[in-house]
Structures are given as structure tokens and as C-alpha cells.
Structure 1
Amino acid sequence: MLRQLFDEQTRRDGEDAVFQNILQAIDRFCQTVRNQQQLHERFYRLELFASSFASVLDELEQSRYAAAKFGQRVRKQYESEMTDEELQDYKLFLYFYKNAFIRVFSALDKLGYFLNEMFEVHTEKVKPKFSYFTVLRQMHQRKIHPDLEEQLYKLKERYREPMQRLREKRNTEIHYLNVEILNDLAALRRQFADSMRVENIAANMADLDAAYDMVVQSMQAVFVHAVRSVRKG
């Protein structure tokens, strides 16, 4: 959908092999549940929840794509040097970049909910409002599906640094900014407008790309393992 902003066709099958692989893994899980007999009712709820991951991933991928495209149009290092058109592209980059990294953590938390329900981790007994990473800790401590937990832990460690940077930005974006702080930032922006350096777009996109890779690889591991688990009964 967002590709239309750049007069491009919608994403074609095969354009993103990793994206297609995870969609296929989700579909296999849903089909496997439908084909099984006498499963507990919660599996059918999980099938409905799993089917929603396709749109979750689609929205994340599109936001990431749009951020990259608008970021490529920004050439100047200072806002004061930009034309109105380039400044607009920069603002659109920031919009889709923020949208994308917020969706990264939203997707992971949804995956955490699926893990918790699928493998009966019962994380809610330890922490009523839990994240994906809390579920992983519970799986590790209770030795629940250790082979899957090990895969997910390795992915978490591989992408620890970019994820930490994005987590700090997410927390600032969602939790910390209030009206007083925004007013202070606006005053500083006016004071130093001529020397206001833009975000490091390349570095930001590298972190976002890494986070996207973590999300899709983690989902792939979860749904491949979930299919095996359902087939084993």
C-alpha cells in the first residue's frame, strides 16, 4: 500500500524471501491446527490470533520500506540547508521511522503473547503485563521447550545492541515526552535552528533493519516449532 506513495506497485510475491517464508510458516501452523482432531479449544483461538500476524508483519515491513525511501531523498546534514521539499521528505522519514520501531516492539509483544498461550508458560502469574522478553526469561527458567528458547535467546543476543537503541527511542517516544519537555525542545530548536543537524539516517535504518530481521527470524522459529508441537500432539 505505502509503495503507492512512490508510484510503485504493491509488494510482489518473492520480492522479500524472508517475509514470504514467515507468511508460509504462519499459514502452515493455521492449516495444521485445522487438520488436527480433538485439539483443545485454545488452539483454535491461537489459530485466529496467528492469522493476524500477516497484517502485523505487513504494516511493519511497509513502514520500514517507506522510511528507507524517504530517507534516501535527504541529502543535507542540516535542516537550515534543506529546501522545503527535502525538509518534508525528512519529516516523512522521521514519521515512518518512528512508526516502524514502535511496530517492532508491538510485533514482539504479540509474539510473546502467542508463545505464552501456545506453550502454556503462564507468564501472567509472574507479571500481569508482560513483554516478549519476559516470556523468554520464563521459558528459560522453567525449561519450557528449551530448543526453541535457545534459538530465540540467540537471536535476542545477536541483535541486542540495535534493539537496545531502539527500545530507548521507543520509551522516549511513548512514555517520557510531556508538554513541558516538548515546549523546552521547541525553544532549543528555535535557538539552534541554523545548526540543527538531522538524524543519522543510515545508522537509524541499520538499526531498524536489524530489528526487522530479529522479528521475522523469531517469528519463523516460533511458528516452525509450533507446527511440530501440534503435529506431535
Structure 2
Amino acid sequence: MLRSLLGEPPRRDEGLLSDTFKTMRQVIQHFQARPDRSSGSKLDYSKLQIWIEGLAASLDELEQCTHASAFFRHKVHTRYIAEMGPQEKGDYARYVYFYKDGFIRVFSILDKLGTVLNELYGLNTARVKPHYSYFTVLRQFSYLGVHPRLGQRLTEIKEQHKDSLSRLRRRRNTEIHYMNSEMQDDLWQKNQAPHGKLELEDMDQHLTDLMDGYQMVLESLNVSFKYTLSNIKVF
């Protein structure tokens, strides 16, 4: 959708993105073919189907946000907002919009994935923490000693991307609880150089973190549903 608004051709799903969508569709098809929970199963297959469809839609939206953020970042060349013309200011605002939308979506998708994994594998994470996150679910795999291959692989992916995730989480928390994340950069600069012009934040570093967060989400979804598909007969 966003690519058409940017004057670009539609995305062609390839590689890990294509494989992840395909695997998620296969899991959904399995649950569509299952009887409802009245048959004696502890799982609500209709609910799981809707949750996984929502995850696939959210992954699509995150990829689009990441792409659009990069698209508008490359249109910004001036270091100081005060020196920007109207067009560049607009492109910078659009970069900020999609960048922020992207890093908020990273953690939203992870928490949705945590909800699905908690339900599928009976982790009962709410007993540990009523309002749990994806990262609490990961610890629950280890705590209960269940599905170690899945839990260990997901933890490895988290650790591989931990630096970017940590920075994105701080900016997410700032955006949601305190102030606009880009204004935090302005505040820091004012404290460092109270009489100087405000320079733009390190957009390249921020964009790299967002793309790394997207990659972490993609890998986590792929591993989760590949594992689920390989064990589909138990559901």
C-alpha cells in the first residue's frame, strides 16, 4: 500500500519474508481445518487463526513502515531544521512519523507473538506476570523446561539484536510515557549547547536500529511458526 503512495511498484515478497508469510499461512490453514474446542481440545483454533492472521498483517505493516522511513530519510540532506525549506521539512516529518510508527510496531508484534506462543504451548505466563511481554514468555520456556529448542533459538535471536532492541525500547518508552522521542534529542542538545542551532538526530543510526528490529521480528516469527508447523500434529 505505502509503496503505491510513494510512486513505487508493489513489493515482491522474497527470501525470509516470503518464507515467513508462507509458513504462517500453512499454520493458519491447519487450524482452519481443525474442529472447534468443543471436540475436547484445550485450544481455541478460531481464536488462534485470527491471532496469527493479525500477526501476518502486522508484519506486513512493519515492513512498509521500515521501507517508508528509509525512503524519506534519504530525502533529508540538511543538518539543521532551521535551515530546511518547506519540502525538506515535510520529508523529515514523514521520516519521523514512519520511524516512530515502526519502533512502536516492533514491540507490539513481539508482544502479540508472545501471546500466541503462550497459548500454543501452555506456558501460563500470566501466573508469573499478569501483564506480560514477549520477553517474559521467553523466560517462561526456560523456567518450565519445555520446548527447549524453540526457547533457546528465540533467545539467541533476541541476544543477537539486543543492542538495537535496547535503544529502540528506550525510545519507545520515551515516546509513550514522557515526550516525543525526537524532542528528547532536542532537549539533550539544548543542555549540551544552549545557544547553538539544533542539529538533527543521527537518523542513520536510528534507521539502522529500526531495520535491525524489523529483522529480529522477522526471524522470531519465522522460527516460531516453522517450529509450530514441524509439531503441528500435536495440536
Counterparts in 2 of 1:131-146, with a 5 A limit?
A: 131-146=133-148
Cα deviation, residue 58, structure 1:
1.1
The match for 2:52 is: 50
The match for 1:12 is: 12
Counterparts in 2 of 1:144-159, with a 5 A limit?
A: 144-159=146-161
Describe the superposition over 1:40-81 as per-residue Cα deviations: whole angstroms up to 9, x where unpaired: 242332122111112111111111111000000011111122
Cα deviation, residue 92, structure 1:
0.9
Root mean square deviation, CA, Å = 2.3
Q: 1:73 to 1:227 in 2, by over 3 A?
A: same
Cα deviation, residue 36, structure 1:
4.7
Query: Residues 33 and 230 of structure 1 are in contact (CA less than 8 Å); yes or no, is this contact kept in structure 2?
Result: no
Aligned residue pairs, count = 225
Q: 1:96 to 1:193 in 2, by over 3 A?
A: farther
Describe the superposition over 1:181-224 as per-residue Cα deviations: whole angstroms up to 9, x where unpaired: 99x95xx59x9686111121111111111100100100011111
Q: TM-score w.r.t. structure 1 length?
A: 0.89
The match for 1:95 is: 97
Counterparts in 2 of 1:217-228, with a 5 A limit?
A: 217-228=219-230
Cα deviation, residue 5, structure 1:
2.7
CA distance in structure 2 between the aligned counterparts of 1:39 and 1:207, rounded to whole angstroms: 45
Describe the superposition over 1:162-198 as per-residue Cα deviations: whole angstroms up to 9, x where unpaired: 00000000000001239xx99x95xx59x96861111
The match for 1:2 is: 2
Cα deviation, residue 229, structure 1:
2.2
CA distance in structure 2 between the aligned counterparts of 1:193 and 1:173, rounded to whole angstroms: 26
CA distance in structure 2 between the aligned counterparts of 1:89 and 1:192, rounded to whole angstroms: 26
Query: Residues 32 and 231 of structure 1 are in contact (CA less than 8 Å); yes or no, is this contact kept in structure 2?
Result: no
Cα deviation, residue 34, structure 1:
3.2
- Identify the match of residue 79 of structure 1 among 57, 72, 81: 81
Query: Residues 80 and 194 of structure 1 are in contact (CA less than 8 Å); yes or no, is this contact kept in structure 2?
Result: no
Query: Residues 67 and 92 of structure 1 are in contact (CA less than 8 Å); yes or no, is this contact kept in structure 2?
Result: yes
Q: TM-score w.r.t. structure 2 length?
A: 0.88
> 3-state SS of the aligned residue for 1:220?
helix
Q: 1:168 to 1:147 in 2, by over 3 A?
A: same
The match for 1:29 is: 27
- Flag as ranges the 4+ runs of structure 1 deviating above 6 A: none
Cα deviation, residue 140, structure 1:
1.0
> 3-state SS of the aligned residue for 2:12?
coil
Query: Residues 79 and 194 of structure 1 are in contact (CA less than 8 Å); yes or no, is this contact kept in structure 2?
Result: no
Q: 1:39 to 1:194 in 2, by over 3 A?
A: farther
Letter of the aligned partner of 2:111 in structure 1?
Answer: D
Counterparts in 2 of 1:73-222, with a 5 A limit?
A: 73-177=75-179, 195-222=197-224
Query: Residues 73 and 89 of structure 1 are in contact (CA less than 8 Å); yes or no, is this contact kept in structure 2?
Result: yes
Structure 1, unpaired ranges of 5+: none
Counterparts in 2 of 1:55-70, with a 5 A limit?
A: 55-70=57-72
